[in-house]
């Protein structure tokens, strides 16, 4: 079952813009909106780490968690926030 030239042209005319629209929506969702939000937050005085596509702060979170777990925890230690969520603790310590 072969497609005629008219059907193929119709497929490109309809399918091409749909693919371009979908690619634009994914780009806007994954890159442009987070950057706009970060820029707006910095303009309001909320400074933090910049957005990194696609994983964000995952590498830093894993590094901080490994560094925190490498040290033994004292028995009388009650402030466990740095131990449980070191990225959040570090971000609050750096940026307020």
pLDDT over 70 percentage in the chain: 99
Cβ count within 10 A of residue 17: 10
**Residue 41 pLDDT:** 92
Q: What is the mean pLDDT of the chain?
A: 88
The tokens describing 89, both together, are 């603790």
**Span 58-74, average pLDDT:** 88
More confident residue, 43 or 47: 43
- pTM for this structure? 0.62
For residue 1, the model assigns a pLDDT of 65
Measured between alpha carbons, how far is 26 from 33 in angstroms, rounded to an integer? 10
Note the helical H segments in the chain: 5-27, 33-43, 58-70, 81-84, 86-95
Block residue for tokens 């780009």 = 27
Confidence (pLDDT) at 27: 93
Cβ atoms within 10 Å, residue 64? 19
């Amino acid at each position: 079952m072969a497609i005629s030239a008219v059907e193929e042209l119709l497929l490109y005319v309809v399918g091409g813009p749909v693919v371009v629209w979908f690619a634009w929506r994914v780009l806007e969702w994954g890159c442009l909106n987070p950057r706009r939000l970060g820029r707006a937050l910095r303009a309001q005085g909320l400074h933090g780490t910049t957005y990194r596509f696609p994983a964000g702060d995952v590498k830093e979170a894993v590094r901080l968690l490994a560094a925190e777990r490498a040290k033994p925890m004292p028995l009388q230690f009650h402030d466990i926030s740095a131990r449980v969520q070191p990225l959040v603790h570090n971000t609050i310590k750096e940026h307020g």
